[in-house]
Structure 1
Amino acid sequence: MFGWVQFVRSTDNTTGGAGFDMDPFILFEDAPSPYAFFGHNPTLFDAPSRAERRPMAWLAHSFLAHTPLDREQRCVLPLAGFSWGFDIDAAGDITVRPAAALAAADWDEHLPHLGNSHPAWEFDKWQADDRP
């Protein structure tokens, strides 16, 4: 079983674009899970939208992870990650940001937020040779 943990930094988020927020699936935003999507073959699908098109910088950090079922504590083990996003300028034109691979340091940047947001879960550091 795998899942996607996603963070978004946008100029209209809670920090005004200074930091990342968790990006839960809106139907389950009150669920105490760090995963936006989870399952046997989870698909990451996101279609960011706003009621009005205004200038904005929007960047996501998306991490594929798994949770071992043989542990007493719920734990998230990251496997891979990528960034993606878009920018909207003053004329309303959209520029797509190319997808780029993320590294262990990018995951580590989010660990304090994950721990604070989901204290019932453990979040392991990303090891390059981790395999489920």
Structure 2
Amino acid sequence: MIIPFLRDDMQGAVTVTLERVDDPAAVGKHPSAAGFPCCTAVVDYPGKGYRALFGWVQLVRSTDNSSAGAVFDMDPFYLFEDAPSPYAFFGINPTLFDAPSRAERAALNWTAHSYLAWTPMDDTERRVVPLAGFSWGFDIDSASRITLQEVQALTAVDWDAHLPYLGSSYPGWAFDKWQSK
């Protein structure tokens, strides 16, 4: 799926690929990850240097999280999960990569909302401005079969629903509403 976005009057796009993991070692995972999804989202943007700085904010709703799947939680990159930043990945045209799995294949519903955003560097506050988003995930049924959820583009309504949680989780940051262009 290709999702267009606009920043500073320049057109960009996110190309999202969702695949089933056939060779867990090839993506740095344990053999038990076979059959689970692998998501890659590549940013294509003509800006250079600081004008191409973006970050990925990812939230997950899973029936094995603390709310039993009732609400979304942050899904930070585990190496930086204690860092006070809402970004799981950040850099110049950063690629989002995620390959969630479970050692046990019990019935489960796992859905991610992944958002490409940017933080203006000329502001006096840390601000997250959303640009594009998509949903993806997987389900495990009672027979331990894994079904990948189709990638779907998200809208301003989806992002804005996360604003109270994001604001309370990261009080040092401001989160803009999604401005549809």
2:103 is aligned to 51
What does residue 69 of structure 1 align with?
A: 121
Q: Is 2:178 the partner of 1:126?
A: yes
Residues in 2 aligned to 1:103 and 1:110: alpha-carbon distance in whole angstroms: 12
Query: Which residue does the alignment assign to 2:144?
Result: 92
Cα distance in 2 for partners of 1:46, 1:14 equals: 20
Instruction: Provide the residue aligned with 1:79 in structure 2.
Output: 131
CA separation in 2, counterparts of 1:47 and 1:99? Answer: 14
Unaligned runs of at least 5 residues, structure 1: none
Question: How much does 1:52 deviate?
Answer: 1.2
RMSD: 0.6
| Cα deviations by residue, 1:13-65 (Å, 9 ceiling, x for unpaired) | 11000010000000000000000000002111111112211110010000000
Q: Secondary structure at the match of 1:45?
A: strand
Q: What letter is aligned with 1:126?
A: W
Give structure 2 stretches of 5+ with no counterpart. 1-52
Runs of 4+ in 1 over 4 A off after TM superposition: none
Aligned residues: 129
Aligned to 2:30: none
Residue 20 (structure 1) aligned to one of 63, 72, 81: 72
Q: Which has the larger radius of gyration?
A: 2
Taking the aligned partners of 1:51 and 1:72, their CA distance within structure 2 comes to 44
Counterparts of 1:77 and 1:55 in 2: how far apart (Å)? 35
Question: How many percent of aligned residue pairs carry the same amino acid?
Answer: 70
SS at match of 1:57: strand
Distance 1:101 1:22 in 2: 19
**Alignment partner of 2:98: what SS?**
coil
Structure 1 distance, partners of 2:104, 2:95, is 27
SS of the counterpart of 2:79? Answer: helix
Give the Cα–Cα distance (whole angstroms) in 1 for the partners of residues 180 and 119 of structure 2. Answer: 17
Compute the displacement of 1:71 (Å): 0.3
TM-score by length of 1: 0.96
Q: Which has the higher contact order (CA 8 A, sep 6+)?
A: 1
Structure with more of its chain in strand, by fraction:
2
Query: In the aligned structure 2, how far is the partner of 1:118 from the partner of 1:72?
Result: 16
The aligned residue for residue 155 of structure 2 is 103
Of 97-106 and 43-52, the range deviating more from structure 2 = 43-52
